[in-house]
Amino acid sequence: MTNEYIFRAEKLNKFFGPTHANNDVSISIQKGEIRGLIGENGSGKSTLISLISGIIQKDSGMMFLDGEPYEPKTPLDAFNHKIGTVVQELGLVDGLPIGVNIFLGRLDMFNKNGVIDLQGLYKAASEHLSYWNLGKFPVQNLASTLSVEEKKMVELARALSVNPNFLILDEITTAISLNNRKLLYSIIEQFKKQGKSVLLITHDLEEIIKITDNITIMRDGVVVDTRKSCELTPDILKRLMVGRELSGSYYRNDWEDQYEDDVVLSVCDLTVEEHFEDVSFDLHKGEILGICGLSDAGIHELGETIFGVIKPQKGSIYFISSNEKIKVKNSIHARKLGIGYVPKDRDKQALMINDSVENNICLPSIEILQGPFGYIRPAKMRKLSSKVVNDFEIKAKSISQYIRGLSGGNKQKINFARWMNEKVRILIMDCPTRGVDVGVKAYIYSVMNEAKKQGLSIIMISDELPELIGMCDRLLVMKEGKVVKTFYRSSGFTEESIMEVMM
Amino acid sequence: MKSVDSEKSYSLGKFQERRFLVSRYDIKKLLSVILIIIPYIIFNIFTKGRFMESSNILSILVHAVVPAFVAWGFCFIFTSGIMDLSIGAIMILACIVSGILAIKIGYFGLILGGILVSFALEYINLKCMIKTKIPSWVFGLGMAMIYEGIGALYGASQLKLGKQVVSLGVTARKLGSIPWIIIVLALGLIMAYIIFNRTSIGFDIRAVGSNREVAKMMGVDVTKAIIRGGLVGSVFIGLASAINESYAGRVMPTTGLNSIALIFIPLAVYLLAQAFEQIFNLTVAVIISSVIVESLFNILTILGVPSGTWQQVAVGACVIVCGVLAQRHYKGVVK
Amino acid sequence: MKKGLWSSYQRIFPFISLILLIIIFSIIVGPKFWSVDNLVNIINQVVPLILGGAGMIFVVTQGGCDLSQGSALALVGTIAAMASNSLGFIAYFPVAIFLGALIGAFNGVIVSKFKVQSLMVTLAMMITLRAIVVYITGGQVIYVSSSVLLLDNFAIKISIFVTTMAVMYYLFEYTKIGFYSKVIGENEMVGIYTGISVDKYKILAFMISGIMAGIVGALTVGRIGGVDPAMGNFFELQVLMSLFVGGVPVTGGAGSKIYKLFIGALILSVLQNGLILSRVSAEVSELVEGIILIGVVFFTLYIRSKFIQVQSAGEN
C-alpha cells in the first residue's frame, strides 16, 4: 500500500528540565514535497529535527515513516530508515580522513574479512562526491584540513550517502557561498523530481519562500501554522514567527546616533588568522555599537578577542579613560579595567549550571566584594545577589537555587545583570537574546537603553538583524572576516540594505 | 557560468597547495628521522662504540617489546579518554595466571592465560566505569587496590607453602627470547596497525577520541566503541603480560599501589608516540618511541647511572617532556 | 518532604558512615579501640591527612589531582632536615615551605601553561622526587638534630595543626582563591569567559598543595626522629581517599567543603586502624579499601546528582 506521506509526526512532546521544547508537535510531509521549517531561536525547530534523526528521544507522541511506526533510538536508526540529516553546528571528526567521515557509523559496509577496504571506501567517497557534483576533495586527507564551508559540503555529502528518501537540512545555507547554494538548490530540485522529500530550516526568509512548497512555522515549542509558500511574504512570516505585529515597540524609538564624543575603546588593525583581519573601530561613551555578519564572518571571534579570550596575531585594543590609553592585555586585565562580556553560549561559557544563583551573580564582582585580607563576607554576597535578583526581576525560588533549574530567559538575565556593577564601563554582548522569550527580550533591551543613557558603552554582536536595527547607534557589517561597511542610525538602516552588504 | 568555473579552480588550487603541504610532511618525516638518529651517533661516539654494538641494539629492541605492547594497549584504551590506572595490577594477575597455565600446558597456556585474565578484568573495569560514571582514574585507583590485594593474597599463600609465586624455570621461555620475541613484536605491529587503521573498531575509537559529540551524532555507538576498543587493548595488555612472564620467568605481586609504577615506562612511550602522531602513524610511533625510551635507559646504564635513582628521575622527566610534546599541537583547540 | 531528605542525605551520609565504623570496631576490637594509646595513634594518623588534604582540596576542587604530595613531603623533609643540621633549626620550616611551594609551582606551570593532565604530571613527579630522595639518602635513614625532635610534642603539633588549618579554612571558604577554585572545577570555560586568571589559580592551588606537603614532611621527620626514604609513600592516595570518602566531589566544583575533609580523614583512619587491630592482613585491607573507595565515590556521586536536582527545583 502506498502512502502519500513520507513522514508524519503526531503530538510529539519533549522536555528539557523545566523547558517544554516541543509541545504537541504534529507535522506531515508529503512525498516529493519541499517543506520549510521556520521559527525564532529557541522555538523548538532543532529539537524536532533531533527527534526525527534519532539524536534525542521523544517523551511522548508518535512518528510514522511511510505509514509505518518509526521510533529511532540512535542516529544510525535514522540512517537505516533513509533519513539524511545535516545538523546545525555539528561539523566533522577532525582526526579522521574526509572519506571515513562520510561513512562513519556505517563503515562495516566496506568490511572485507574483518578489515576495512580503505581504497574501496575512498573510491566510493570520491564517486559519491562527484555524482552529486559536490566538488573534488582529497578524501584521504584529515577533515581538519578543510575550511568551514568545505566541511559543510562534506556533511551534505554524508547526509546524501544514506541515499535518503527524506533529507533534513538545518541552517546549511548560511555557511556556504552563492555557488554552492545554487548547487544545493539543484540537489533539492532533483529530490523533488524523484518524489523524495526535503525539510529545510533557514533564517533567510526570502530563500525559504522561494525554494519550498509549504512552510511550517514554530513558536515557543508549538507548531503555529503551515502555509503555502507562494501565498507568503517575508513580512507575514515574521509576524507569524514573532506572534504579533513587529512594530519596534520594544526597541529604541529614536533614530539619532546618541553618544558622547569621548572614545572609551579603540581597536586597531586586529587580526586573528582564519577568523578576521585588520578590524579597526572606536567605541564611544554611551554608544551601542552593533556588529553583524553571517555565521562564518568572524563576529563572535571578534567579540572574544576584544575581551581578551583569544590572542590576536596582530593589532591591539586600547581602553581609554580620562586621556589615559591602556593596552588591554588579556581577559583578566579587561575585567579589571571595567570591560564585561556576555558570552553566546550561556550554559557552557557563562554559567556554572550546578551552582547557586548567588555564586553565579557574584562571580564577576568577587574582587569588588573583597574586604581587608581578601575577606569575602558571605552576608555581602547574599546582599548583592538578592539585590540583583530583585532589580532585574529574576524568577528564582531563592538565591541558593541552582542555575540548572531556571528558564533560559532567567539564565540570560543573570548572565547579563551580573555585569551591571559600578565598575563596568564597557559591555560586550554576544547574541544577548538568543533563545529567550519575547518578554525577557524586551526587558533586556530596556535595560540596555537605560544603561546607555547612564554612559555605559555596549558592543552588541548578533545574527538577528531586527534587534541590531532596533538598538544600535552604529552597525559594523562584517563579511569573510572584514568590516565591509558601517551604517549609522541617523542615516537610517533597513534590513535589505544591510543584507545586500552582508551576503 | 564563468564565475562558477573560476570558483572551482580556486578551490582546486587550494587543495593543490595542501598537496604541497603533504610533501612538506614527508620532509618533516625525514627530518625527524634524522633528528632521532643524530643523538644515537653522538652517544655512540660518546660511549666509544659500545652503544651501537649489534648485541646492544638487539638488547634495546628486546627491552622495548613489552612497553610497546602495553602502549599499543593504551592506544585502544586511553585514546577514548579512559585513564585506567589498574592496568599494572591487571598485568600482575595476568602474569600469574599465564605462568600457572604455562607450567600446565605450555605456550598455549602462557598466551591464553595472559589474554583471558586481562580481557576479563578490563571488561569488568570498562562496564563498571561506564555504569557508575565514576571518573576513570579514580575507578582505576580503586580497582588497582582490589587487584593488587588479590595478587598479594595469592603471593602470600604461595610463600606460606614455601614456594615462589610463579616460577617458570625453563618452561615456555622461548617467547621472551630472541628470535621469537622480535617476531612477536613484528606480528604485534601488524596487528595493531591493521586494527587501528583498517577496522571499524579502530575508526570508532579514533572518532570518539577526536570528538565524542560529533561521533555520537554520526551514528557511532560511543559506549560500544569504548568497550570494543578497550577489549582489543586488553588483548595487547594480555600479550604483554605473557611475553613478560616468558621473558622474566617469574612475577612479584606488589602492594600499596606499586603496580602503577609498572605502567610508567609504557605511559612515557604512549605520550611520546602521541607527540609523533603528526608525523608517523600512532601504532608505528609506539615502536619508535619505545625504542627511543629504552635507548635512553640503555645509555644511562652504559654511563654507569644507578638504576634505582637517576634512571627513575629520567622516567619521570620523560613522562613530563613527552606529555608536553604530546599536548603541543593541541594548544589551538584548548581555549 | 522527599526533597529535604536528599539534601540532608548529602550532608549526613559521611557522618553516618563514620559513626557506623566506630560502632562496628568498638564491637569487634573491644575496649582496646578506645584506649588512650590507640586514640593517640588515630590522631597521629589523622593530623597529616587533614593537613595534606587541606592543600590537596584546592587542586581537587579545580578538577585536578596532585599525586606528587607523598614524594614531595619526603624530599622536603629530607632537605629541611639537612638544612637544619647545617644551618640550625631556624632554617627548618622556611626551607620546608619554600621547597614545597617550588615543587607545587613546577607542577602548576606544567599543568596550566603546557596543558598536560595533572594526573600525568604529578604521577611523573611522584617517581622523580622519590628517586631523588633515595639518591640523597642513599637508602639510609638520616638522623636529625634534637631541636627537630621537639616537634613530636603533642601540644606543639596541635598548635601548628590548629593555626595552619585556620588559615587554610579561611583561604578556602572566605577568599577568592577558594571561590575561583570552585569556579574552575565547575566549568573552566566560565572562568575564562569571566576574566579569571585560570592559569594563576591553578599554579596557586598546586603551590598550596606543595606547601602543605612541606609542612607535613617537616612534622613527619620530627615524629620519626629522622629521614626515612620511604616516608610518605602513597600518602597522596590516602589524602585523596580522605577527600572522596568525606564527600568532596571527584569532579571538583561547588560541592567541596573543608569539613568534608575532616570527616573523610577520620573515616579512613578509623577504618585502617580498626582493620589492623582486627588483625586483618595488609593485602586484605588494601582490597577492602579499594572496594570502599569505589563504593563511596559511587554513592557520593549519586547523592550529589540527586542533590543537584533538588537544588535546581529550588526548595530547601
**B62 residue type, one letter:** V
Q: Report chain B residues whose CB lies below 8 A from the CB of A52.
A: none
Contact C314 A402 (CB under 8 A): yes
* pLDDT single digits (tens) A354-376: 899 999 999 999 988 998 889 99
Contact A179 B210 (CB under 8 A): no
Give the alpha-carbon dihedral of A358, A362, A363, A366, to 10 degrees.
Answer: -140
Q: Which subunits count as partners of chain C given 3+ CB pairs below 8 Å?
A: A, B
| Statement: residue B3 has pLDDT above 50 | no
Tell me, what's the pLDDT at B183? 92
* pLDDT single digits (tens) C251-277: 888 889 999 999 999 999 999 899 889
What average pLDDT does this structure show over C164-179?
95
Q: Report chain C residues whose CB lies below 8 A from the CB of A353.
A: 187
Tell which residue, C187, C168, C188, has the closest CA to residue C178: C168
**B81 residue type, one letter:** G
Contact A341 C195 (CB under 8 A): yes
Contact B219 A105 (CB under 8 A): yes
Q: Any residues with CB less than 8 A from the CB of A264 and at least 6 apart, and which?
A: A283, A284, A285, A319, A320, A321, A425, A426, A457
Cβ under 8 Å to A: B residues 121-150: none
C-alpha to C-alpha distance for C209 and C103, rounded to whole angstroms: 9
* pLDDT single digits (tens) B210-259: 888 889 888 889 999 999 999 999 999 999 999 999 998 888 888 877 88
Q: Which subunits count as partners of chain B given 3+ CB pairs below 8 Å?
A: A, C
DSSP state of B163: -
The DSSP line for chain C is -HHHHHHHHHHHHHHHHHHHHHHHHHHHHGGGGGSHHHHHHHHHHHHHHHHHHHHHHHHHHTT---TTHHHHHHHHHHHHHHHHHHH-GGGHHHHHHHHHHHHHHHHHHHHHHS---HHHHHHHHHHHHHHHHHHHHTTSPEE--HHHHGGG-HHHHHHHHHHHHHHHHHHHHHSHHHHHHHHHHH-HHHHHHTT--HHHHHHHHHHHHHHHHHHHHHHHHHHHTEE-TTTTTTHHHHHHHHHHHHT--TT-STT--HHHHHHHHHHHHHHHHHHHHTT--HHHHHHHHHHHHHHHHHHHHHHHHHHHHHHHHT--
Cβ under 8 Å to C: B residues 149-168: 149-150, 152-153, 156
The nearest alpha carbon in chain B to A145 belongs to B18
Contact A352 C315 (CB under 8 A): no
Tell me, what's the pLDDT at B15? 40
Task: Give residue limits of the domains in chain B.
Answer: 50-328
* pLDDT single digits (tens) B15-59: 434 444 455 667 777 887 887 888 888 888 877 887 878 888 899
Q: How many CB pairs under 8 A join A and C?
A: 105
B19 and chain A in contact, CB less than 8 A: yes
C311 and chain A in contact, CB less than 8 A: yes
Contact A400 C311 (CB under 8 A): yes
Q: Is the peptide bond before B253 cis (omega within 30 degrees of 0)?
A: no
Name the minimum distance, in Å, from the CA of B114 to any CA of chain A: 24
Tell me, what's the pLDDT at C304? 81
Q: Does domain A5-92+146-242 have CATH number 3.40.50.300?
A: yes
| Statement: residue B297 has pLDDT above 90 | no
* pLDDT single digits (tens) C223-262: 888 888 888 888 998 899 899 988 888 888 888 999 999 9
Tell me, what's the pLDDT at A1? 41
| Statement: residue C160 has pLDDT above 90 | yes
Find which of B4, B203, B279 to mutate to test the A interface (most A CBs within 10 Å of its CB): B203
The CATH T-level fold of domain A248-338+423-503 is Rossmann fold (3.40.50)
Of A106, A115, A118, the CB nearest to B219: A106
Which residue ranges does chain A devote to CATH 3.40.50.300? 5-92+146-242, 248-338+423-503
**Domains of chain C and CATH, by start:** 35-311 (1.10.3470)
Q: How many percent of chain C have pLDDT more than 90?
A: 50
Residue A62 has phi, psi (to 5 degrees) of -135, 150
Q: Which residues of A442-464 are buried (b: 16+ CB within 10 A; e: fewer)?
A: ebbbebbbebbeeebbbbbbbbb
Q: Which three cell numbers stand for residue C134?
A: 633515595
Contact C190 A356 (CB under 8 A): no
Q: A89: buried, middle or exposed (CB in 10 Å: 19+, 13-18, 0-12)?
A: exposed
The CATH T-level fold of domain B50-328 is ABC transporter involved in vitamin B12 uptake, BtuC (1.10.3470)
| Statement: residue B157 has pLDDT above 80 | yes
Contact C186 A17 (CB under 8 A): no
C-alpha to C-alpha distance for A48 and A56, rounded to whole angstroms: 9
B309 and chain A in contact, CB less than 8 A: no
- From first to last of its 503 residues, chain A has per-residue pLDDT tens of 456 889 999 999 998 766 788 989 999 999 999 999 988 766 788 889 989 999 889 999 999 998 889 999 988 899 999 999 988 766 788 889 999 999 988 888 888 888 888 889 999 999 999 898 888 888 888 888 887 788 888 999 999 999 899 999 988 876 677 788 888 999 999 999 998 999 998 877 888 898 999 999 988 788 988 999 988 888 888 778 776 555 456 788 788 888 888 899 999 999 998 889 999 999 999 999 999 887 678 889 999 999 999 999 999 999 998 778 899 999 999 999 999 999 988 888 899 988 999 999 999 999 889 988 899 999 999 999 999 999 988 888 889 888 888 878 889 999 999 998 778 899 999 988 877 777 788 889 989 999 999 999 999 998 778 888 889 999 999 988 889 999 998 887 777 788 778 76
Tell me, what's the pLDDT at C299? 85
Q: Report chain A residues whose CB lies below 8 A from the CB of C313.
A: 397, 401, 405
Q: How many percent of chain B have pLDDT more than 90?
A: 43
Give the side-chain half-sphere CA count within 13 A for C17: 27
Q: Which three cell numbers stand for residue B326?
A: 604530546
Q: How many percent of chain C have pLDDT more than 70?
A: 96
Q: Report chain C residues whose CB lies below 8 A from the CB of B261.
A: 127
**Beta-sheet pairing, A474-479 with A482-488:** antiparallel
Cβ under 8 Å to C: A residues 311-350: 331-336, 339, 341, 343, 348-350
Contact B216 A150 (CB under 8 A): no
